[in-house]
Structures are given as structure tokens and as C-alpha cells.
Amino acid sequence: MSETYVLKAEARERVGKGSARAIRRDGKIPAVIYGDNQSPLSITLPLKEVTMKIHDGGFMTTVADIELDGTKHHVLPKAYELHPVKDTVMHVDFLRVSAKTDVVVEIPVHFINEETCPGLKKGGVLNIVRHEVEVHCPAGSIPEYFTVDLSGFGLGDAIKISSVDLPAKVTPTITDRDFTIATIAAPAGLKSESGGEGEDEGQAEAEVEAGEE
């Protein structure tokens, strides 16, 4: 789980496009805090700090404390808007959360031990079907990433969600099947020489999973 960070906010009394443009000219961005059966809070945040947090990675899966008028609001970023040309941050939406709040987030998947993977050592290719996995989990224990150990996979193997060691109370939003995260695909030349059906089946399954995303 990533460490919580603090952003200092100011109340935003006026809303609308004109007000938002004025805020951005001052090096800030408009934002809103909503949820938990409370009224939405319109705020402004420093553009530089928010941009740095986004570029650092894990922005959408890290709980933050927004300090406003001496009160801290425990929040999780839910969406942010970028300028279509300049790619600068335009607006951020935050959801109020507590340790008991259940949230839906996309967790990145990291692959390790590629150098000792039997399938890759034989010339196979790691075909990643899902770079991220969407899960339900408590807001207070969002995983930073999932780790897949490739050291036991051979040519044609499909790496399923069941191969991932999920923390307690973290469950995939897809519950009707043991879906594929990645496959160890054989190169075209090796596949044609061996005529391996396992490799063809693994590739076909990967294509089906990719089409369902």
C-alpha cells in the first residue's frame, strides 16, 4: 500500500468556466470532494503539487489527506481531466473514504523473474493481456501493485488471476471465471515447427480475454 500524502486546499466560492479559468491562471486547479452522504466541497489545489503526484505514479490508487481550513478530508482520486493540447491537469474529482470504505480500483501487475522463466528461456514471448486488474478492496489497504512470478511458467502457459497472491479482502471485479493475465507465447517459427496445440490454445485464450476488456 502506498503512503498517504497531504495536499493543502483552499475553498472555492464560485464555480463555472470563468472561475475555473481564473484559478488556472493563478497556478491552481479546481477540484471537488464528494461522497460519504455529505455535500460536495468545491476546492482549489496547487497545480504543481498535483501534477507531481500524478507523474510519480499510483495517483489513482493512493489515499490522500486534503487539508481545508484546518480539517483533513480522507480521499481517493477518482478522475482527473487533462488539457487536450497542453496535457496539463485541468480538474480532479476526489471521493471521501474511510478505512471501511470499499472501493473499486485498477491495480498494476508487475512481472518478475523473466530471466529464469523456462518458457522465455526457450524463446517464448510474454504476451501481457492485462497490465492492470480491477478489484474491490478496502480504501485503507489498496495494494500498490500485484506481483506475478514467471519462474514456473513454460511455453504455451496461461497465467491466470489464480496465480496472483491477492491480499486479504481484495477480490477481482470479474468473478465468473479464472481470467488470463498473460501468456507465454511461442514465436511463430517455433510454433510451426513443433505444431504445439498448447501454444495455440493459450494464444486463443489470450485473444478472447483481450477482446472482453
How far, in Å, CA of 3 to CA of 78, rounded?
A: 17
Answer yes or no: are the C-beta atoms of 182 and 156 closer than 8 Å.
no
CATH class, 5-97 region: mainly beta
The 3-state secondary structure of the chain reads CCCCEEEECEECCCCCHHHHHHHHHCCEEEEEEEECCEEEEEEEEEHHHHHHHHHHCCHHHCCEEEEECCEEEEEEEEEEEECCCCCCEEEEEEEECCCCCEEEEEEEEEEECHHHCHHHHCCCEEEECCCEEEEEEEHHHCCCCEEEEHHHCCCCCEEEHHHCCCCCCCEECCCCCCCEEEEEECCHHHHHHHCCHHHHHHHHHHHHHHHHC
Label residue 86 exposed, middle or buried (CB < 10 Å: 0-12, 13-18, 19+). Answer: exposed
The more confident residue out of 188 and 203 is 188
Q: pLDDT per residue over 32-70, tens digit each?
A: 999 988 899 999 999 999 999 999 989 999 999 999 999
Residue 193's pLDDT band (cuts 50, 70, 90): low
Taking the domains of the chain in order of start, what are their residue ranges? 5-97, 103-212
**pTM beyond 0.95:** no
Could you tell me the fold of the domain covering 103-212?
A: RNA Polymerase Alpha Subunit; Chain A, domain 2 (2.170.120)
Q: pLDDT per residue over 99-156, tens digit each?
A: 789 999 999 999 999 999 999 999 999 999 999 999 999 998 899 999 999 999 999 9
Q: pLDDT at residue 213 above 70? A: no
Q: In the prediction, which pLDDT does 61 show?
A: 93
Q: pLDDT per residue over 145-182, tens digit each?
A: 999 999 999 999 999 999 999 999 999 999 999 999 99
How far, in Å, CA of 170 to CA of 188, rounded?
A: 37
